[in-house]
Chain A
Amino acid sequence: MTTVLIAKDSGAKSVGADAVAAAFEAAGADVIRTGSRGLYWLEPMAEIDGVVYGPLTPEDATGVLADGAKRIGPLADIPEFARQTRMLFKRVGAMDPTDIKAYRASGGEAGLNAALAMTPDAVIQAIADSGLRGRGGAGFPTGIKWRTVADTPDQQKYIVCNADEGDSGTFADRMLMEGDPFLLLEGMAIAGYAVGAAKGFIYLRSEYPDAAETLTNAIANAPFLDNELAGGFRFSIELRMGAGAYICGEETALLESLEGKRGLSRAKPPLPAHAGAFGQPTVVNNVLTLAAAPIILAEGAAAHHAFGTGRSRGTMPFQLAGNIKQGGLVEAPFGITLRELIEDFGGGTRSGRPVRAVQVGGPLGAYFPESLLDTPMDYEAFAAAGGMLGHGGVVVFDDTVNLAAQARFAFAFCAHESCGKCTPCRIGAQRGVEVVDKITAGDNVDANFTVLGDLLEVMRDGSLCALGGLTPTPVESALKWFKQDFDKGASQ
């Protein structure tokens, strides 16, 4: 019987993968549901003996099986895939994410076993030596965070996985949780062993019901959870769901929510590493950060450090989104340029019109004009260009975009999602919407630009957390590169 791999990833399903899978089964094929390879423009896609067919409709199933209809070619020859460096995502799309045997057969648990054979201190040193930095957006060195928690004496510590991937344009966490959930759980167990925590929480956003299902299954079936491992180490994981608050992606708001409260940001210090979940020392790491740990432990810190550039080491799963012809996931070493991602991997805009602006790093990231597309994807290079790499999401806009409208949206989104605890964010965001409206209406423009400048300064310097503090980033980039869009009538 022919074995056919078809994604059960929610993105693939959103364009009809379930019906395609059913059609292949009806045609007598042995269908294995996998994560997505991240080549979303080819979804729903089928993979037979390493050869890709797509995009498919249910009617194509018999043709694919009988005479290779809709054949794209061997996966290894698809340039947008072949040119990637798949480390974190090597299993995603290649195996059934519910199958622990397949996970083990493909190298799963090697990292945890390697860690358990080392001292916790040596595990932290390996993470530090690898150069791993937090993949959630802030890019904080993971080794330092783990060391801080390890050095904080307490009986009860926690590992909290931030799976509240709320930034528009990002979906790598979702793909990994749906496509290789055991890798995340293994990474959390390694973190637990390293810092002396026996309990982990995954805080998952409610917009990801499919990820909730795969994680629930994986937590129930991971043999390394709830069992005594080498040296008497035991680790358990609980899944907790969010309820539609973007602010809960901010780590202190997330901790409040995890504790069952309103998601209000906390003042720092104390750092979560000293007093995090339920007041205990807590590692809060993004999905991809934790998922990198098993690979680093299995393959060595040097192997991870060998990729990348400057202080941005390893590979990063970049995500191509918005008005893009070939949207999807591109895992590549840091240092690849924005232009390579958009043009070589993404094939330009889906509308066929010229790229006018690109927002990298989610709603709090800068809008870059075409002239900045040669910026390398590296934390420091992005910061130097006035932007933020964030979680690696790339949202492409064509020349129909109006950046004054996008600046207004940045304020409106902040106003909508503000937790309300600090004044610059709560009031400033609303005032920002009003001031942009006055400027675009041609009302007292010079004076209102001055007000806007003051407002941005107060929000940036006076907000409690990154939501209010970084909302100025997209607004300032719009003002810097696309000022003409703020002229009266520019949006018409």
Chain B
Amino acid sequence: MIKSADNSDIIHAIARDCLGLDGPLMEALVRINQRFGYVPKEAQAIVAEVLNVSQADVAGVTGFYSDFRSAPPGRTIVQLCRAEACQAAGVASVVTEVEAALGCAFGETRGDGAVTLEDAYCFGNCALAPAAMVDGQLIGRVEAKTITALVKP
């Protein structure tokens, strides 16, 4: 587990790395989110200070984009595409089965921190729908049992 003091150092370094870019705020948040899996609360003040923008700017951008999680995700992240092509290929039943098997609803992280279930809108795998991404790995023609098997206890 990374301690909070270390988090601050890492966030500082990432923000500084983005200083030379045009319009650096988004890129800084993308990198912070990639590094931690979410945007830690302390990032707001640090990024604002380093990039010389207001904390409201940072909060506004962080809040706008669905990728930027506000809390640490579960140990496994399941993202299931809920868009039209995957609907046509029967994603609704996958949703029901996954929620029942894992005891967790989409949009939530399970109490024990094992898994986060997220809705997604299109991975560009619509010819092999329904599509899911589990810890960054894309799965085509996905079935509920494939997803649940990948969730570590």
Contacts and interface: CB of A to CB of B under 8 A. Distances in A.
Interface of A: 10-11, 13-15, 38, 40-41, 43, 165-171, 173-175, 206-210, 238, 240-246, 257-263, 278, 319-324, 327-329, 350, 359, 363, 393, 395-398, 401, 406, 409, 413, 417, 419
B56 to A, nearest CB: 11
B126 A170 contact: yes
| Dominant secondary structure of chain B at its interface with chain A | mixed
25 contacts: A11-B125, A11-B127, A11-B138, A14-B128, A15-B141, A165-B124, A166-B122, A168-B83, A168-B122, A173-B124, A174-B124, A175-B124, A206-B67, A210-B138, A242-B67, A244-B66, A246-B121, A258-B26, A262-B61, A319-B126, A321-B127, A322-B87, A322-B89, A395-B88, A397-B88
Contacts of B136: 209
Contacts of B25: 260-261
Given A263-B65, A363-B84, A406-B84, A11 B27 contact: no
A401 B125 contact: no
A409 B84 contact: yes
Nearest to A210: B138
Contacts of A170: 122, 124, 126
A207 B124 contact: yes
A323 B124 contact: no
Interface residues of B, number: 44
B84 A322 contact: yes
Given A246-B121, A258-B26, A409 B128 contact: no
B127 A243 contact: no
B26 A240 contact: yes
A208 B67 contact: no
Nearest to B22: A278
Contacts of B46: none
B44 to A, nearest CB: 15
B29 interface: yes
A322 B128 contact: no
Find the residue from A10, A170, A350, A409 having the highest chain B CB count within 10 A. Answer: A10
Nearest to A43: B128
A250 B53 CA distance: 25
Nearest to B29: A243
A448 B61 CA distance: 37
B66 A322 contact: no
Given A11-B124, A258-B23, 14 more contacts: A11-B127, A15-B140, A166-B121, A207-B122, A209-B136, A240-B26, A241-B30, A242-B65, A261-B23, A263-B65, A278-B23, A322-B85, A322-B86, A409-B84
B85 to A, nearest CB: 4
Given A14-B138, A15-B140, A245-B66, A168 B127 contact: no
B106 to A, nearest CB: 13
A67 to B, nearest CB: 28
Contacts of B111: none
